[in-house]
Structure 1
Amino acid sequence: MLIIKNLIHWLILLVSAIIMFVCVLPAVFIPQGANKVGRAWARLLLWSLKNIVGLKYEVHGAENIPQNPAIICSKHQSGWETLALQEIFPLQVYVAKKELFLIPFFGWGLKIAKTIGIDRKAGAQATAQLLQQGLARKKEGFWITIFPEGTRMPVGERGKYKIGAAKMAKMFEMDLVPVALNSGEFWAKNAFLKRAGTITVVIGKPISHTAGDERELMKLCENWIEEQQDKITNPIYLSQK
């Protein structure tokens, strides 16, 4: 039954991705239009996950979401958070690797929606790309979402936190909003099947861009996220690994 439910979800995803792309094209002529279409698509997929697969979520700390645009600094364990953060937070753009833009329909939609694309192999030039595009998105009124570890991490593991988010926070005078979650317990990295259950999302109080230098800001963010990860990680899952 789980396989059938997941197949239905994937069918909805594939068909809706094409429809979404068609809708995005005229939406580019409306301010933030493409992003609103993208958010509607994300909500459709979240509905599918909830009502077909049985994968729900609960949010703790929603009151910590500030009024002004900020930089969402989130743990990354699966593809789920790329959908859910769009529903939880105001309109946003993501920081992603440029290779994603090559994926038919989905990747093209990302580019049209002004996703901040960086070349991971570009070194210092990648940072310049991040800052240049990020500043442009801030001026357009978007929030910015970044996964500071740079890639999806298995449950219970910590990657190296890069300081790109802190660099943007200092340059753009935007606070960091740390986010912890345990989506990997139900939707593992590169897994086809998603399991039913309830994902926990915890949103921390904003970390002011004036709270320290770049490394200090990133360390504050990392410490908070990882402390929360230890609290919400399912010990039953870890014992079965």
Structure 2
Amino acid sequence: MAQLDQVPSLNIRIRSLLFFVLYNLAGIFHSFLCVLIGPFLPFKTRYRFVNLWTREAMWLLRVLNGVHIRVEGRQHLPQGAAVIIANHQSSWETFYLQLLISPQATVLKRELLWLPFFGWGLALLRPIKIDRSKGSAALKSVLRQGKEKLSTDIPVVIYPEGTRQAPGHLGKFNHGGAMLACQNRVPVIAISHNSGDCWPARSWLRFPGTITLRISEPMATENKTAKEISAQAQQWIEQHYPGNTPVKTVN
């Protein structure tokens, strides 16, 4: 597990810095290509093209930083409309899930689309953008935009904690994703992972190790409330958390 309270070795610092530089340079270059070419590509082709940078990032992470990825339950990945509920520890899962579930619509705060380079490419993926400061209006936006995506068999990915948590911690889940699934009668799939052990939030350091990502069987939403589904997904994530740190729920 990554220990930010301990002094990282010089080797880890050098490799992390190299990753940071190459990852951002590749992102800047690829974003320009996406802006120039992406709008003229069919959506599914555009999606794969934009995520070439994500594939490069995962390759760099493995080669430079010794971060390996293990996926358990791949057979449960959706083949059509579904709502994916995952815990949130770093930027890693927002990248990797784009490759694992393709195409998808990710629920994200609209400010991310304003970021130079990164935001430009992200906008081409047609995410579900919300203004989190508007409370109930943000929920309505998730339900409206999410329904549109699900009606075209595109899975919706949501991080119900809303903000990144430290390894071994789960924030309070909002019920927006579960409500979307219940209203549209599509299954929920829960995902539990320990990305923060290798890619800590708000840090440029990258630590060697294995990120394990576990995928649940589809959870039926018929005759269940959003609160029940949300609790079921949270319980599954807690019970199947792959990190070394015992899970604590943060209210």
Q: What is the TM-score normalised by the length of structure 1?
A: 0.91
Q: Whole-Å Cα distance in 2 between the matches of residues 157 and 28 of structure 1?
A: 39
Q: Is residue 163 of structure 2 the alignment partner of residue 144 of structure 1?
A: no
Q: Which residue of structure 2 aligns with residue 208 of structure 1?
A: 220
Contact residue 23 and residue 37 of structure 1 kept, 8 A: no
Deviations 1:154-185 (A, max 9, x none): 11222110011112102233211100001111
Range with bigger deviation, 99-108 or 45-54: 99-108
3-state secondary structure, aligned to 1:113: coil
Quote how far apart the aligned CAs of 1:211 are. 5.3
Q: Is residue 168 of structure 2 the alignment partner of residue 156 of structure 1?
A: yes
Q: Whole-Å Cα distance in 1 between the matches of residues 120 and 127 of structure 2?
A: 10
Deviations 1:100-126 (A, max 9, x none): 112101012222221111111101110
Range with bigger deviation, 94-103 or 81-90: 81-90
Q: Whole-Å Cα distance in 1 between the matches of residues 144 and 39 of structure 2?
A: 21
Structure having the larger proportion of residues in helix: 1
1:1-241 equivalence runs, <5 A: 1-25=11-35, 26-32=37-43, 33-210=45-222, 212-229=224-241, 232-235=242-245
Quote how far apart the aligned CAs of 1:235 are. 4.4
Deviations 1:199-229 (A, max 9, x none): 1111110111215111111111111111112
Quote how far apart the aligned CAs of 1:92 are. 1.2
Supply the RMSD in Å over aligned alpha carbons.
1.8
Task: State the percentage of identical aligned residues.
Answer: 31
| Gap regions ≥5 residues in structure 1 | none
Contact residue 17 and residue 105 of structure 1 kept, 8 A: yes
Q: Which amino acid aligns with 1:233?
A: G
Q: Whole-Å Cα distance in 1 between the matches of residues 60 and 223 of structure 2?
A: 40
3-state secondary structure, aligned to 1:28: helix
Q: Whole-Å Cα distance in 2 between the matches of residues 186 and 129 of structure 1?
A: 33
3-state secondary structure, aligned to 1:127: helix
Q: Whole-Å Cα distance in 1 between the matches of residues 12 and 167 of structure 2?
A: 21
Q: Whole-Å Cα distance in 2 between the matches of residues 194 and 158 of structure 1?
A: 21
Q: Whole-Å Cα distance in 1 between the matches of residues 220 and 95 of structure 2?
A: 26
3-state secondary structure, aligned to 2:234: helix
Contact residue 81 and residue 151 of structure 2 kept, 8 A: no
Q: Whole-Å Cα distance in 1 between the matches of residues 124 and 54 of structure 2?
A: 16
Change in Cα spacing, 1:90 to 1:61, as seen in structure 2 (3 Å) is same
Contact residue 105 and residue 156 of structure 2 kept, 8 A: yes
